[in-house]
Amino acid sequence: MVIMKVGVSLDKGGLINRRSTLKGQIAQKRQQISILNGKIERLKAAKAQLVEVINESSDYKKKVQNLDIDTTLWMGTTKNKYEDLKYRIEQALADYNKDLQGVEESIEDEIVRLSNQVQLCYAEISSLHSSISSLNHSIEN
């Protein structure tokens, strides 16, 4: 039996070879999914650790903000130096926390991107299975 496909005729052997090629592509896609899932899991673990660091940083900022020192006993430059230093530490912690949150967002974006690639691979595998099914039908007839 000869099937015409895009101007190319394939005999039964050609159909079987094509089916074999498609099965190889499915195996490659499954391997790709496995690699992508590994990356996603590592990113999720890194994100979880980063969230802990962000929470700790927020706690430190709150401790500095709530530092209970009676500044009424201080006067002049000592009081001003303390208030300035406290303000700079609060700002540094706020900036650090903001930077960490930016990294967290970048990690989440990468997780989404990789997850989309996984879904695309599954769609491609489905399409390859459909092609194999069609080839199987042609081979049997």
- 8-10/3-5 β-pairing: antiparallel
Q: Closest by alpha carbon to 114, among 55, 14, 36, 49?
A: 36
Q: Is the pTM of this model over 0.75?
A: yes
Domain ranges of the chain: 3-140
Phi then psi for residue 136, to 5 deg, are -60, -40
Q: One digit per residue, pLDDT tens: the chain, 141 residues?
A: 344 444 445 688 888 999 999 999 999 999 999 999 999 999 999 999 999 999 999 998 888 888 877 767 777 788 788 889 889 999 999 999 999 999 999 999 999 999 999 999 999 999 999 999 999 988 887
